[in-house]
């Protein structure tokens, strides 16, 4: 822990048989660490700070369990699906609850956060919710990232680190109720991420259109289209691509092998089977039925070889 983060003192009533599982995911200058452990006390003393200070902020998403943080005269408690924040330059004590604890931690250089240092410092130690708004979006990003890192390449790491830092900055700014602290570029990226998350949640709705998306986010249709210029796609084509990918995944799912193709298409917002078939063939080079047959045949061959 001291080598990966900063020098600290650890103690536990379970020290004789302490169980912990932790991974370290490096995203450029940002690091993410999902972990599970027994009750634990973590202390960062003035002596340890003098010994070494990496000048970083730490944000922890509590997925299971609870905790309490004392930061000078400031004290905060957190439960499942809360965030708590810390600063490597300030003495602190953190207690986890008496049950098994599961977290996802984030550590990033203070200089990298696109917020004025004094403003960012005001968020440290505050309890922040991961159940709604920007906090929920950040929690979704972290849980998806840590659930399967195999889908990303080393070249993705710095870009993911930038997205993560922007989301943390948005959460800090929201906590301070001062989005004006964010740069225009960061606000733009965060809004795009919020819109994309909204689209993912409503792909099943056949009435999902650029106009309805703009109205839901209180922006003009023209501004919505400008946001998606950086995505190298129009809003409508981005929606269609996400729907097709969900449908493609369903077509290769053995549990759905008897589901009619038209019902899978309808599940993801395609109301006309012919339009779905045409769009699917354009995207993947085969009609949906042939694609499903090929995927099913390949899976059966693989299972036969393994058997």
pLDDT classification of 153: cutoffs 50, 70, 90: confident
On the question of pLDDT at 304 being above 60, the answer is: no
Which 8-state DSSP code applies to residue 208? -
Percent of the chain scored above 90 by pLDDT? 41
Q: What is the pLDDT of residue 306?
A: 43
Please give the average per-residue pLDDT across 95-112, as a whole number: 89
Q: What is the pLDDT of residue 305?
A: 47
Please give the average per-residue pLDDT across 16-43, as a whole number: 90
Q: How far is CA 214 from CA 28, 110, 194, 195, in A?
A: 33, 34, 12, 9
- pTM for this model (two decimals): 0.65
Record the tokens describing residue 187, joined without a space: 């606000």
Please give the average per-residue pLDDT across 84-91, as a whole number: 91
Instruction: Report the 10 Å Cβ neighbour count for 122.
Output: 14
Tens of pLDDT, residue by residue over 170-224, are 898 888 765 566 677 877 887 888 788 788 878 889 899 999 999 988 889 999 9
Q: Is 298 helix (H, G, I), strand (E, B) or coil?
A: helix
CA–CA separation, 210 vs 221, rounded Å?
7
CA–CA separation, 279 vs 295, rounded Å?
18
pLDDT classification of 30: cutoffs 50, 70, 90: very high
Q: What is the pLDDT of residue 180?
A: 60
- 231 near 192, Cβ under 8 Å? yes
On the question of pLDDT at 244 being above 90, the answer is: yes
Q: How far is CA 245 from CA 228, 237, 248, 250, in A?
A: 19, 12, 5, 9
Q: What is the pLDDT of residue 276?
A: 95
- 167 near 207, Cβ under 8 Å? no
Q: What is the pLDDT of residue 98?
A: 77
On the question of pLDDT at 286 being above 80, the answer is: yes
Q: Find the helix or strand (DSSP H, E) in which 21 lies.
A: strand 20-22
């Amino acid at each position: 822990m001291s080598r990966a983060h900063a020098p600290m003192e650890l103690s536990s009533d379970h020290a004789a048989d302490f169980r912990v599982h932790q991974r370290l995911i490096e995203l450029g200058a940002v690091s993410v660490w999902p972990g599970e452990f027994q009750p634990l006390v973590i202390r960062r003393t003035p002596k340890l700070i003098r010994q070494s200070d990496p000048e970083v902020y730490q944000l922890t998403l509590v997925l299971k369990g609870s905790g309490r943080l004392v930061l000078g005269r400031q004290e905060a408690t957190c439960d499942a699906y809360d965030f708590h924040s810390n600063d490597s330059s300030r003495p602190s004590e953190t207690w986890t609850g008496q049950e098994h604890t599961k977290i996802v931690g984030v550590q990033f250089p203070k200089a990298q956060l696109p917020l004025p240092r004094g403003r960012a410092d005001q968020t440290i130690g505050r309890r922040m919710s991961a159940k709604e708004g920007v906090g929920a979006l950040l929690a979704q990003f972290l849980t998806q990232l840590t659930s399967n890192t195999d889908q990303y390449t080393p070249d993705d790491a710095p870009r993911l680190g930038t997205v993560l830092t922007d989301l943390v900055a948005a959460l800090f700014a929201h906590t301070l109720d001062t989005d004006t602290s964010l740069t225009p570029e960061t606000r733009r990226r965060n809004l795009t991420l919020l819109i994309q998350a909204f689209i993912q949640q409503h792909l099943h709705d056949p009435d999902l259109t650029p106009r309805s998306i703009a109205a839901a986010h209180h922006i003009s249709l023209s501004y919505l289209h400008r946001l998606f210029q950086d995505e190298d796609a129009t809003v409508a084509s981005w929606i269609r691509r996400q729907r097709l990918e969900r449908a493609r995944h369903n077509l290769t799912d053995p549990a759905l092998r008897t589901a009619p193709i038209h019902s899978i298409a309808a599940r993801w917002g395609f109301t006309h089977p012919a339009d779905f078939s045409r769009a699917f063939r354009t995207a993947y080079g085969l009609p949906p039925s042939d694609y499903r047959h090929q995927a099913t045949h390949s899976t059966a061959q693989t299972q036969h070889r393994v058997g």
